[in-house]
Amino acid sequence: MPAGRTVEGTMLGKLDWSAIPFEQPIPLIAGGVVLVGILAVLIWVVVKGHLPYLWHEWITSVDHKRIGVMYILLASVMLLRGGSDAIMMRIQQAIAYQSQGYLPPEHYNQIFSAHGTIMIFFVAMPFVIGLMNLIVPLQLGVRDVAFPTLNSVGFWLTATGALLVNLSLVIGEFARTGWLAFPPLSELSYSPGVGVDYYAWSLQISGVGTLVAGVNLVTTVLKLRTKGMNYLRMPMFCWTTLASNLLIVAAFPILTATLAMLLLDRYLGFHFFTNEAGGNVMMFMNLIWAWGHPEVYILVLPAFGIFSEVVSTFSGKALFGYRSMVLATMAICVIAFMVWLHHFFTMGAGPDVNAIFGIASMIIAVPTGVKIYNWLFTMYGGRIRFTTPMLWAVGFMVTFIIGGLTGVLVAVPPADFMLHNSMFLVAHFHNVIIGGVLFGAFAGFEYWFPKAFGFRLDERWGKLAFWFTFTGFYVTFVPLYVAGMLGMTRRLQHYDVAEWRPWMIVAAIGMAVLSIGVICQIMQLVVSIRNREALRDRTGDPWDGRSLEWATSSPPPVFNFAFHPDVRGEDAYWDMKLSAQQQSLDHEEPEYHDIEMPRNSPTGFVCAFFATIMGFALIWHIWWMVILGGIGAFATFVVFAWRDHDEYVIPAAEVAAIDRVNLEERRNLVSMAGAI
């Protein structure tokens, strides 16, 4: 292997003591604190004897609900990491006027690269995939996803990627290239360190996990639906899940192939994207954005689905224009693949190409506009309850419209020539990603939390969190629009232009307000867990919901539904509630059957363990360890493929006992509603 330069031949490849950044206090202290925190939690878990519970109920679980919760937990922890990076950048730019600030350039470059990478791949992606995992099988009225063990593998591989990125904080360094690692900067000649390798291998491994999740969810929506659940009776969130995962299946292989070519350049001396020997850096831009633009819609479509559910529930009305919503979703799914050049208008293409892609970029705003009007008309004439999820939804509509309008602005090539790579662009994509994806994730979190855990979240802290985040967002990012208009480019470690300074200070203040929002969110969780008995939801339907996830208890039993619900129209559960009130619920005991469920399996965890070893070894050129990890992962797969018992039976009596409790609560609910 030719690439190792200095310590070729040692047992640990490129790894030695110089990899630990002893001279940089910030990452070392941060890493140390996190390490102590993890150790403390681990010791607590072991001492308290929670380890068997964690292993049997969570780590090896193939239950889609548990996996969904773990995805969301991963995303939340990574949100704190990515958020800390954001705070450090805002402080740096607030003080680095005619000075070096407090972050050395090479450290600052790592921070903005890690911020983007973490926020997209390890916050936004796991958050939306987690919500889809948790809710889609429930909404479809089925007992699990199509491939339960594969689902677990997907989650743990994503966690591997997140682990490797965070490992780079203490061992070695992270990429200094921005979140998409453009060559030639990311090539060996300009980035000889392990930073880009950490970046690329984390994304390769977690990319496999994401692809697996995509295949699983597409199959689930297409093949597993309860009786009568036609495509045009599926809740909107299932439709957006289908569209989003179709995009994952189509787009993520492009990312994998592109990064594989970059890695071939770096490891085996290929010349796909180098400056010399016939390499073409523009091919990297082209390919990475052919993945990158669909990725935007992979993230935002599920958020659109969440808002559709939330707006319809809290307006007490069926979703306005359901079919136009489906059409808009699928239109976005296709047009998402026709706009990627707008990320590099400035890079030399002629007017024909730029004009066509500019027009396509404006056209994709049309189905999005259709959705906005549908939500507005759903609210129109409804009895709106302004609960926390609804606040996030309304906040989203306002914020996303502004973000969308600035998006249409930069879709005009001549305007983009002025604004490309400026702070205006930074403000624009934070406007749509925070205002769209993050607000959507929070809305879904608040809305479905009672379903997952059986108690509501505290409304007072939730509303505080919303208002601080909402206000903080505007105070942070409107100044960045202005700074962009004043000519400030992105990723500046320091600057000498006096006009930019006040805007950077305002943005830093906004960041502080945003942080208070995050603290409120954590407080909400703490307060809600402490008051969980008072906030307990015994009905399984705390919001007067409309779709099938509310038809089962909270938290749902492992098999979700004792009987497959019979769906007769859109808003399946709403119709059931109406007809139950009219017929005053027949009290006859239904006949219960045994239920077969997939057995738990450590396959995912063990695979990810070996993948972590392999990824780490590849980054540091420790070839024997690469082989070890590879053999381990493959052997795990073989053991799994040859196992004999993959299902266990829940006896009818146990199903009956669990379901009777649920039915009793529900009868009380209906009779109470009938009395009113």
Partner 1 sequence: MSDQTHMNGEHDIAPGDEEQHSVGERIVGYVVGLGLALLLTATSFFIAGTDLVWQPSIPVALIVLAIAQMGVHLVFFLHITTGPDNTNNVLALAFGLLVVFLVVGGTVWIMGHLNQNMPPMDQFIRMHS
| Binding footprint of partner 1 on the chain (CB under 8 A) | 142-144, 146, 148, 222-230, 246, 250, 254, 280, 282-283, 286-287, 290, 334, 337-338, 340-341, 347-353, 564, 596, 598, 647
Residue (of 462, 390, 470) closest to 434 by Cα position: 470
Q: Are 169 and 31 in contact (CB under 8 A)?
A: yes
CB 656 to partner 1: min, Å: 17
- Looking up tokens 């590099």 gives 344
Mind spelling out the 3-state secondary structure of 594-629?
CEEEECCCCHHHHHHHHHHHHHHHHHHCCHHHHHHH
Our CB check for partner 1 shows the closer of 142 and 181 to be 142
Helix (H) or strand (E) holding 648: strand 647-650
Beta bridge partners of 650: 595
CB 353 to partner 1: min, Å: 5
Residue (of 41, 44, 68, 55) closest to 453 by Cα position: 68
Residue (of 593, 624, 628) closest to 610 by Cα position: 628
Our CB check for partner 1 shows the closer of 68 and 517 to be 68
CB 282 to partner 1: min, Å: 5
Distance of CA 119 to CAs 111, 176, 318, Å? 12, 16, 34
CB 437 to partner 1: min, Å: 23
Our CB check for partner 1 shows the closer of 353 and 534 to be 353
What phi and psi, each to the nearest 5 degrees, are found at residue 167?
Answer: -65, -30
Our CB check for partner 1 shows the closer of 143 and 451 to be 143
Neighbouring C-beta atoms of residue 676, cutoff 10 Å: 4
Residue (of 161, 164, 143) closest to 62 by Cα position: 143
CB 350 to partner 1: min, Å: 3
Neighbouring C-beta atoms of residue 97, cutoff 10 Å: 17
User: What is the C-alpha to C-alpha distance for residues 172 and 471, in angstroms, rounded to an integer?
Assistant: 38
User: What is the C-alpha to C-alpha distance for residues 139 and 229, in angstroms, rounded to an integer?
Assistant: 10
Residue (of 175, 163, 161, 116) closest to 256 by Cα position: 161
User: What is the C-alpha to C-alpha distance for residues 85 and 633, in angstroms, rounded to an integer?
Assistant: 33
CB 263 to partner 1: min, Å: 20
**Is-cis flag, bond preceding 555, omega within 30?**
yes
Our CB check for partner 1 shows the closer of 378 and 601 to be 601
One-letter amino acid of 219: T
Q: What share of the chain is helix, strand, coil (3-state, %, to 5)?
A: 70, 0, 30
Our CB check for partner 1 shows the closer of 51 and 222 to be 222
Dihedral in degrees, nearest 10, Cα atoms 614, 617, 621, 622:
-110
Residue (of 499, 580, 562, 625) closest to 10 by Cα position: 625
- Looking up tokens 């705390």 gives 542
User: What is the C-alpha to C-alpha distance for residues 514 and 470, in angstroms, rounded to an integer?
Assistant: 8
Our CB check for partner 1 shows the closer of 499 and 596 to be 596
Our CB check for partner 1 shows the closer of 38 and 334 to be 334
Beta bridge partners of 97: 495
One-letter amino acid of 209: G
CB 236 to partner 1: min, Å: 19
Residue (of 132, 138, 165, 166) closest to 151 by Cα position: 132
User: What is the C-alpha to C-alpha distance for residues 447 and 534, in angstroms, rounded to an integer?
Assistant: 18
User: What is the C-alpha to C-alpha distance for residues 239 and 132, in angstroms, rounded to an integer?
Assistant: 11
Our CB check for partner 1 shows the closer of 222 and 631 to be 222
CB 351 to partner 1: min, Å: 8
Our CB check for partner 1 shows the closer of 337 and 474 to be 337
CB 356 to partner 1: min, Å: 9
Our CB check for partner 1 shows the closer of 532 and 564 to be 564
Our CB check for partner 1 shows the closer of 89 and 234 to be 234
CB 51 to partner 1: min, Å: 30
Our CB check for partner 1 shows the closer of 284 and 468 to be 284
Q: Are 42 and 59 in contact (CB under 8 A)?
A: no
Our CB check for partner 1 shows the closer of 285 and 402 to be 285
Beta bridge partners of 109: none
CB 110 to partner 1: min, Å: 30
Helix (H) or strand (E) holding 647: strand 647-650
Our CB check for partner 1 shows the closer of 32 and 569 to be 569
CB 100 to partner 1: min, Å: 36
CB 598 to partner 1: min, Å: 7
Q: Are 663 and 587 in contact (CB under 8 A)?
A: no
- Looking up tokens 């299902």 gives 647
Query: What tokens were used for 543?
Result: 């919001």
CB 548 to partner 1: min, Å: 14
CB 289 to partner 1: min, Å: 10
